[in-house]
Amino acid sequence: MTDYTAPLADMRFALTEIAGIGEIATLPGCEQASEDLVDAVLEEAGKLAGGVLAPLNRVGDQQGSVLENGVVRTPDGFKEAYRHYVEGGWNALPFAPEHGGQGLPIAIATAVAEMWNSANMGFALCPLLNIGAVEALTAHGSPEQQRLYLPKLISGEWTGTMNLTEPQAGSDVGALRSRAVRAGDHYRITGQKIFITYGEHDMADNIVHLVLARLPDAPPGTRGISLFVVPKFLVNADGSLGPRNDVRCVSLEHKLGIHASPTCVLAYGDGGGAIGYLVGEENRGMECMFTMMNNARLNVGLQGVAIAERAYQQARDFARQRVQGKPVTATAPGTYPILHHPDVRRMLLLMRTETEAMRALAYCTAGAIDRARHHPDGEVRATQQRRVDLLIPVVKAWCTDLGVEIASLGVQIHGGMGFIEETGAAQHLRDARIAPIYEGTNGIQANDLVGRKLLRDRGAAARELIAEMRAVEAALACRPAEDLVALRRPLATGRDALERATGWMVEQGEADPPRALAGAVPYLKLLGTVAGGWLMAKGALAAEARLEARTGDAGFNAAKLATARFYAEHVLPAAPGLLPGVTGGATIMGFDLERF
């Protein structure tokens, strides 16, 4: 497996020109995010990712986590790596200073999280779930719960989990059966949860489970679900650890990938009931949990970006070294690396440009979160929150689908060697495959995009996004550079298809919801593809301006223009072809179920 080197130049570019980190640093509460600090954070994170976490990626895949006498042992080196992570203060990056966080913008934390996931996705899943637990308790926990749990969770000394899924209730959370019975100032939790990432492990002193359960008198469905904090070890009033709670890991799942990450089956209440404490109000647990889930969906989308970057680096390095055949471009006798073959170059460019587009969309969304939280103008905050709500399902689904496709292309570039585990290319594909499934399958994300986000405001947020795309088209029209001229027509054509699809979805979603939802996945893909083209064009305008001003690395800026043009010529043309799939739901809904 090739080494991992964080693409710091492209990360800085995306933070500066796409997320707008300079403007974010002027917002209240974000002032410490100076250019020097951002550079220092990225540099140090790159060292930890490349020097400590990445070498353990193969180890984790081969060894996996194991369950021994009720204790989960993580692979060799993971405990030590997690200690480095905690001691470096990395877990505290985006959280509120009053609970021990560093208060840095989400955009910066997003770039850092990309590095963790590229270096070692199996390791990075532990802090990913912990971040969600912190978000949920910060938004909905009582002052006492925040005092007891947040400092340790924010430091990373303790880790958090999200407990939704049960054997009979996968994505249908309303069908869960776990019970919570009132017992004085707490509740007794009984039931079983499956697919709990890092539900048990040996890297932290305590694990804080956020558990969905149903009260005996609760109404049916999601309206009757409550959220509870259930620690592995009970926590005394002074913050010290008390006795072991009644929760046990009874088995680990045997998975296609992410072997290092323990996916646990947890049993609550085998000894009379695990002690849990209500978060928020009774029967309103789903509202609390969505805080955690939305954060996780952004970070899972980021996993698609991260695994694509790792697969690209692996394939690029292999293509530079692997000698195979004589390319048609050869001008002299001898042997050449496969990088010289036109189709290999095409595949590598596709991997690279789509990864850049995904990174841009993820960082753009993270920047919108920062504005929605910190901008002093309430109207701007509301506009940015609409943007976040619209783009979160796109980041999650579009980026994870592409992560799988790009990892598969990486195997293809390796040829037969890609099918051999020792090269490492296959691990990226295996690890990537879970991301379109967990935190809500990508079909659920598409349903959320159309059924909730689009119809809730009758397409207002989508139209705001489309207006910004038009503004970039207008800027392209004013610039004579050949690479920029080549971007305008494909972007305009894609934007027009998105505009037509959005109008159709809003109208049809109200008149015939099943038909609209039948086209939801193509619509999400259309939105992601065109949004990627918009941000690649926006980046190309910035790169061309840098070239004119002779600022920055000229080679890097020229490459940004080239990748934007490749995206416009090779990716964006597919966007209008998605429109018939968006509007063709009648064929799907009209098919006789007995014929399946």
Active site residues: 439
Joined together, the tokens standing for residue 65 give: 């986590």
φ/ψ of residue 268, rounded to 5: -110, 130
Yes or no: say if 245 and 209 are a contact pair by the CB < 8 Å rule. Answer: no
Residue 447 CB-half CA count within 13 A: 9
Joined together, the tokens standing for residue 259 give: 């072997």
**∠494-498-503 over CA atoms, to 5°?**
150
Residue type, 267: A
CA-based torsion, 550, 554, 557, 558: positive or negative: positive
Distance in Å from the first CA to the final CA of the chain:
42
Write down the residue that tokens 């999400």 correspond to.
524
What Rg value do the Cα atoms of the chain yield, rounded?
Answer: 24
DSSP assignment letter at 16 = I
The C-alpha torsion from 259 through 262 and 263 to 269, rounded to 10°, is: 160
Q: Whole-angstrom Cα distance, residue 566 to residue 572?
A: 9
Residue type, 573: P
CA 173 centroid distance within chain: 21
Write down the residue that tokens 């046990």 correspond to.
248
Q: Which residues pair with 66 in a beta bridge?
A: 73
Q: Which residues pair with 208 in a beta bridge?
A: 160, 231
Q: Is 199 exposed, middle or buried (0-12, 13-18, 19+ CB in 10 A)?
A: buried
Strands 206-213, 226-231: pairing is antiparallel
Q: Whole-angstrom Cα distance, residue 418 to residue 429?
A: 10
